[in-house]
Amino acid sequence: MMKRLPIIFLAILLSACVHSNAGQTTADTVPDYAPEPLIISNEHKKAFRLGTNLLVNHHYRKQKLSAIAGDIHLDYLQALDPSHIYFLQSDIDEFKHYGDALLQANKGDLSALLAIYQRYSERANALNRWSLERLSRPFDLSGDSTITYPEAKAGKKQPWPADAAVAQAEQEKRIEDQLIRLRVSGKSEEKALKLLRSRYTGALRRLNQITMNDVFDIYMNVVSSRFDPHSNYLSPRTNEDFNINMRLSLEGIGAILASEEDRVTIRELVPGGPAYKSGKLSVKDQIIGIAQGNDGEFVDVTGWRLDKVVDLIRGKKGTLVRLLIDPVDAAKGMREITLERDEVKLEEQAAQSTIEEVSEDGVIRRIGVIKLPSFYMDFEGAQQEKSDYRSTSRDVERLLKEFRDAKVDGVVVDLRGNGGGSLYEAVKTVGLFIDKGPVVIVSDAKGGVRSETDDDEGTAYDGPLAVLIDRYAASASEIFAAAIQDYGRGLIIGSNSFGKGTVQTIVNLNDFVVNNTPNLGAMKFTISMFHRVNGSSTQFRGVSPDIRLPALFSADEVGEQAEEYALPWKSITAVKIKPAGRITDSTLGTLRQLHETRMLGKPELRRYQEYVDKVLEKNRQRTWPLNLQTRKNEHADWKKYQDDYEAAQRKDVPLLNADKKSQKEIEERNAVVEDEDEKESFVPDVALFETLHIFFDYLQLLNPQAAADAA
């Protein structure tokens, strides 16, 4: 679903370091680490040539290295120093003569990328040492100064420090902010300082363990990411350690991670895994520290290589791992969570259902809701021709039969958080709701086009339908929602989907060389794009809902539009379909008006909209006071607001059957959590609540006689 950033990409970076001279500290306050010698090998040269040839000749985006050479140079500097902390402006000026480094590298000369990295290493060693020395002196956290962090997309436009004095002034603020964040999260001054010292000491140690392979990984991934965010170089270690689809699944908690700048970020939660079931983690949350068991000491993993973080999180089923989380929702504040490692079971990823009743003006509607976490298939069971193998289409068909037996008035398919999965199963599942016909078009890098079609006549369910999506619905989910929308088969409700409409392949570089050549790694690159049956790609734009619900994240924060160098939207020739034609503009206009009236008129919905607006505002905050008491007060005020909001919603929003199930799961998790601060609070699912009322309105428009009979 989401962008998989490279294993080593940005792994050694630590954003809170400043320029200084190494001589400002002493040997007894700062550990002495000797850097590894960096030597360019023939294998690096071969891997670069083969990898870039694959990108240039076979990637969906056609571009020559000469056209992006200048961009690659700037991106490499940005990858090494994304916050513009390490390099001085004089370094940047000096590096300008390396602007054609990409073209030289393609000829076998990798000296430019090594020279730039060595300057980075020199600066970073000195700066981390300065930071450790600074942590040995007291801080005044009672002043009135502030710190401002730039927008992520504005990072390249930030000026580079003119000299060490300018950088040190900013560093003072960054360290103070780090201390304050840790203190506000509940850490004592002693523990916060200890954690930061460990962070900078670890950064020094890791920095001096970097090999030429690591440097090569960084540069190769800068090059591949310039083609699109889903194309990566996979180092020999990565190619050996992880399975062929490179999902980077973490054994034990079921999360897919990536490195973003100096932070380990959650890119996806695997349905059925401990992280997903806990309800405590979200996509884009950042893992700051990891501890083992109930009382193990936290290890700060800021700036760590991703494979090393994987090693800390992996463990035996039944054991505990504790994570220090900096959430994507800034309003939640830094927090510690405990997870029990477990296996991800297919049945826990499977479609689940509830039947909900909505009553208005004496009319009661029974609505079947199918929660679909992913488009899954037991490939092994299917290959062995087992009669009971699990798949999305099989499970959904069974649930639809149960709904028919229960005589529901309509069906809602909930795709929120569904990151995709099997294209085959997405097409098969669409086929349950439409008569046969094309579902999705695939265009390849050479201009070829093919259609993926549902060839089965008839439907498993022909009644009223709605699909609920959000910003985390991606890939196969977008194919499903788009087909339902284009056929006019059902309502699409929620927020705009992710916009990931591309297909990747993985090619081992050793396939092009003699057998005795050392492992050169592999390239993952984009070869195809998905298009709706109307020809419009789901890439970049995603699927727009017919009726919008409040969304906690905007397009420039989460989704393909937030990714640099994402492939643009594209349209091709539409294919002929036989639309159901059930959703008219007049119907949508009426439903939107009723929805807007309800959002303004019902206290629980007004409160929900206000909460979403406040969270969005908090997430956009870039300037923070560097006063500990002020920050504690702000944190306390926000926590009180959240507590009051949740209590009011629990009082005013009638519980759905899905809510009751969620509430029971939360109670079961809380029963084994000792720390009160770690316990989850239950909040009714307002988005599903309003979706059901929108669907109720739709059912009434389809069958107005029901309302008349009730009256």
Domains parsed from the chain with CATH numbers = 64-226 (no CATH), 249-345 (2.30.42.10), 348-582 (3.90.226.10), 600-692 (no CATH)
Coil vs helix vs strand at 413: strand
Angle between helices 423-430 and 476-486 (to 10 degrees): 20
Residue 704 neighbours by CB under 8 Å, 6+ apart: none
Number of helical (H) and strand (E) elements in the chain, helices listed first? 22, 19
Q: Which pLDDT value is given to residue 29?
A: 57
Cα-Cα-Cα-Cα dihedral sign, residues 702, 532, 422, 285: negative
Q: By CB neighbour count within 10 A (0-12 exposed, 13-18 middle, 19+ buried), where does 637 fall?
A: exposed
Per the document, the length of the chain is 711
Q: Which pLDDT value is given to residue 257?
A: 80
Q: Which helix (H) or strand (E) holds 84?
A: none
- Please compute, for residue 413, the number of CA atoms within 13 A of its CA located in the half-sphere on the CB side: 36
Nearest residue to 535 via CA among 664, 440, 628: 440
Q: Which pLDDT value is given to residue 12?
A: 26
Coil vs helix vs strand at 526: strand
Nearest residue to 479 via CA among 523, 513, 525, 528: 528
Distance CA 610, CA 481 (A): 28
In the numeric block, the tokens 């709701």 are attached to 433
Distance CA 223, CA 243 (A): 23
Is residue 460 within 8 Å of 434, Cβ to Cβ?
A: no
Q: One of 486, 546, 685, 697 is an active-site residue; which one?
A: 486
> Phi/psi at 659 (nearest 5 deg)?
-65, -45
Residue 607 neighbours by CB under 8 Å, 6+ apart: 645, 648, 649, 652
Reply yes or no on whether 500 is catalytic.
yes
User: Buried b / exposed e across 527-561, counting CB within 10 Å, b at 16+?
Assistant: bbbbbbbebbbbbbbbbebbbebbbbbbbebbbbb
Give the start-end residues of each E strand in 327-381. Answer: 335-340, 352-360, 363-371
Distance CA 105, CA 218 (A): 14
DSSP-derived secondary structure letter, 99: T
Reply yes or no on whether 544 is catalytic.
no
Give the start-end residues of each E strand in 495-586. Answer: 502-508, 522-531, 547-548
Q: What is the dihedral of CA 563, 566, 571, 575, to 10 degrees?
A: -80
Q: By CB neighbour count within 10 A (0-12 exposed, 13-18 middle, 19+ buried), where does 387 fall?
A: exposed
* Amino acid in the structure at residue 583: I
Structure tokens at 260: 């973003």
* Amino acid in the structure at residue 118: Q
Nearest residue to 545 via CA among 402, 694, 410, 331: 694
Q: One of 391, 500, 524, 662 is an active-site residue; which one?
A: 500
Is residue 175 within 8 Å of 139, Cβ to Cβ?
A: yes
Cα-Cα-Cα-Cα dihedral sign, residues 643, 647, 648, 654: positive
Is residue 474 within 8 Å of 420, Cβ to Cβ?
A: yes
Structure tokens at 518: 């050392």
Reply yes or no on whether 486 is catalytic.
yes
Q: One of 131, 185, 475, 477 is an active-site residue; which one?
A: 475
Task: Give the distance, in angstroms, between the CA of residue 23 and the centroid of all CA atoms in the same chain.
Answer: 41
Q: What's this model's pTM, rounded to 2 decimal places?
A: 0.85
Cα-Cα-Cα-Cα dihedral sign, residues 563, 565, 569, 572: negative
Q: By CB neighbour count within 10 A (0-12 exposed, 13-18 middle, 19+ buried), where does 446 fall?
A: exposed
Average pLDDT of each block of 10 consecutive residues along the chain (711 residues)?
Answer: 32 29 42 80 96 97 94 94 93 94 92 95 90 95 94 84 87 94 92 90 86 93 96 79 37 74 77 81 86 86 77 85 85 81 70 96 96 88 84 96 98 95 95 97 95 95 98 96 97 97 94 88 96 98 98 88 95 96 93 98 98 93 96 95 97 97 88 75 97 98 70 49
End-to-end Cα, the chain, rounded Å: 48
Distance CA 200, CA 113 (A): 25
Distance CA 107, CA 130 (A): 39
- Please compute, for residue 188, the number of CA atoms within 13 A of its CA located in the half-sphere on the CB side: 3
Q: Name beta bridge partners: 263.
A: 260
Q: Assign residue 420 a region: left if phi > 0, alpha if psi is -120 to 50, beta otherwise?
A: left
